[in-house]
Amino acid sequence: MSPREALHAEWTKARTLSGTIWLLLGTVALTTVVSAATAAASTCRAADCDLDPARIGLGGIQLGQTTVAVLAVVAVAGEYSTGTIRVSLAAIPRRPLVLAAKAAVLTALVLAAGTAAVLASFLAGRHILPGNGVGPDHGLPTLSLADGPILRAVVGSVLYLVLIALLGLGVATAVRDSAAAIGTVLGLLYLFPILAAVVTDPGWHRRLQQIGPMTAGLAVQATTSRPDLPIGPWAGLGVLAAWAAAALLAGLLALRLRDA
């Protein structure tokens, strides 16, 4: 089977699964609602306010990523639970092509939903935050895509969701069980912030934030100069990309070395 046919097969699977559309819509809705609520709860009354409007306006990403992770896991672990993965591997004997096709389709779906979610969150923050004093009146930037750092935060947030999806796909391919894969992905995302919060040593606190896929990846949303930022914006997204690449490699090895 050619790569084009493999892509078509994976696209057919994705669009015929009833859960796909609901998880994509859930990503948009959950991200937007939480971002809007975060913006509504953020106020700035002091003359010098230490807030980052972009990070606040895009705050829903931290919860919206959960539905993206579930979507990625279901894309592959669901086939293992039903046994249809045997049909897929029989039709496409080249197992790396199977994983590549799944990754491509998943990337396209999350890219579309992530763009909608991030733009909706951005517009909600742009509308809500100035009324709460989080804006030029207190020396903070206006949320505008014409501003380079803010555009980077918006684009980086979409890429962040795509990388979370690829991380979930890799873990699910390696683990094969839906519940275990979801638990592993969410554990990787939220364990590092929890550990960083309880560690008292400043050096270890910073290291944990630098290597955690979520804490490092979300650094791409930073648009104001903060001395406590553990890692640079693009470097942080690179850390998440490394986690996703490692997960995909582990998934590919498991796919090639184990029977379906």
Q: 191-223 pLDDT, tens per residue?
A: 999 998 898 888 888 999 999 999 999 999 998
pLDDT digits (tens, 9 = 90+) for 246-258: 999 999 998 888 7
Q: Quick: pLDDT tens for 92-137.
A: 778 888 899 999 999 999 999 999 999 999 999 999 988 887 777 6
CA-to-CA distance for 20 and 116, rounded, in angstroms? 16
CA distance 110 to 117: 10
Q: How far is CA 95 from CA 85, 217, 257, in A?
A: 11, 29, 10
User: How high is the pLDDT of residue 243?
Assistant: 98
- Whole-angstrom distance, CA of residue 125 vs CA of residue 54: 8
Query: Model confidence over 160-173: pLDDT tens digits?
Result: 999 999 999 999 99
Which carries the bigger pLDDT value, residue 23 or residue 89?
23
Helices 178-198/202-211 angle, 10° precision = 150
Q: Which structural domain, as residue segments, surrounds residue 39?
A: 3-257
Mutual orientation of helices 95-128 and 3-16 as an angle, nearest 10°? 50
When the pLDDT of each residue in the chain is averaged and rounded to a whole number, the result is 88
Cβ-Cβ contacts under 8 Å for 219 (sequence gap 6 or more): 229, 230, 231, 232, 233, 235, 236, 237
Is 236's pLDDT higher than 60?
Answer: yes
Distances (CA, A) of 167 to 16, 51, 74, 181, 241: 23, 30, 13, 10, 8
Consecutive H or E run containing 196: helix 178-198
Angle, nearest 10°, between helix axes 233-257 and 202-211? 60
Owner of token pair 């919206």: 64
pLDDT score of 260? 57
Over the stretch 36-67, which tens digit does the pLDDT of each residue have?
999 999 887 765 677 888 899 999 999 999 99
**Number of domains composing the chain:** 1
Q: Which residues contact 239 (CB under 8 A, 6 or more apart)?
A: 210, 211, 213, 216, 217, 231
145 dihedral zone (left: phi>0; alpha: psi -120 to 50; beta): alpha
Question: Is the confidence at residue 227, as pLDDT, over 80?
Answer: no
Instruction: Give the pLDDT confidence score for residue 14 in this predicted structure.
Output: 81
- pLDDT, residue 16, reads 81
For the segment 70-98, what is each residue's pLDDT rounded down to a tens digit? 999 998 887 777 767 777 777 777 888 88
259 has a pLDDT exceeding 70 = no
* DSSP letter string, 54-119: HHHHTTTHHHHHHHHHHHHHHHHHHHHHHTTHHHHHHH---HHHHHHHHHHHHHHHHHHHHHHHHH
In a 3-state reduction of DSSP, which class is residue 205? helix
